[in-house]
Amino acid sequence: MSRFRYVSCMMQTEIVPPALERVLSRFRAMGREEKMASLVAYAKKLEPLPAHLAALDRANFTVAECQTRVDLFPEFHDGQLHFYADVNVRESPTVAAVLAILFQSVNGQPPSVTLAIPNDIVRQLMHDIGLAGREVGLNAMVQRLKRHAGLAAA
């Protein structure tokens, strides 16, 4: 039995990373208020930005599509990716929560795991929450993570 769940969507098959599938499964079973509380809890789990990354010029790391400033930093060592983010958790708990969920699923894994994040992950996480205004920026963050993973895998 595969460790991954296969999702077929219009001729495209995506393999959902197991840690991410567990979160999605829990979210599917929750009501709106439970999801909101869970997002707040995840936001608090976002790993702080290491000092060596804080000193870098942010121009290449900022996700311009986000309503609030979000900088995403990839590190690639020994075939494994690790992502960090600089975001104000108090001002943007939803952004921090989504990043914490994604990072928990892909950090310390090969780039292929990041590339396997479903393209509709934001919609799946935010279903029935009513935060549609955030989707453009959140989707841009996911695409930025995948772009970094694609470069690392090349």
Per-residue pLDDT tens over the stretch 33-58 = 999 999 999 999 999 999 999 999 99
**pLDDT > 70: what percent of the chain?**
89
Domain harbouring 18, CATH code: 3.90.1010.10
Do 31 and 108 form a contact (C-beta atoms < 8 A)? no
Q: Which residues contact 88 (CB under 8 A, 6 or more apart)?
A: 68, 69
Q: What is the mean pLDDT of residues 99-110?
A: 96
Q: Which residue has the higher pLDDT, 22 or 132?
A: 22
- Helical spans, DSSP H, in 29-134: 32-43, 51-54, 93-106, 111-115, 121-126
- 124 pLDDT band (50/70/90 cuts)? confident
How many domains does the structure of the chain reveal? Answer: 1
At 34 the pLDDT is 92
At 46 the pLDDT is 96
Full-prediction pTM beyond 0.85?
yes
At 101 the pLDDT is 96
Q: What is the mean pLDDT of residues 8-19?
A: 59
Q: Strand (E) positions, the chain?
A: 5-9, 12-16, 70-77, 80-87
The residue segments making up the domain with residue 63 are 5-153
At 2 the pLDDT is 38
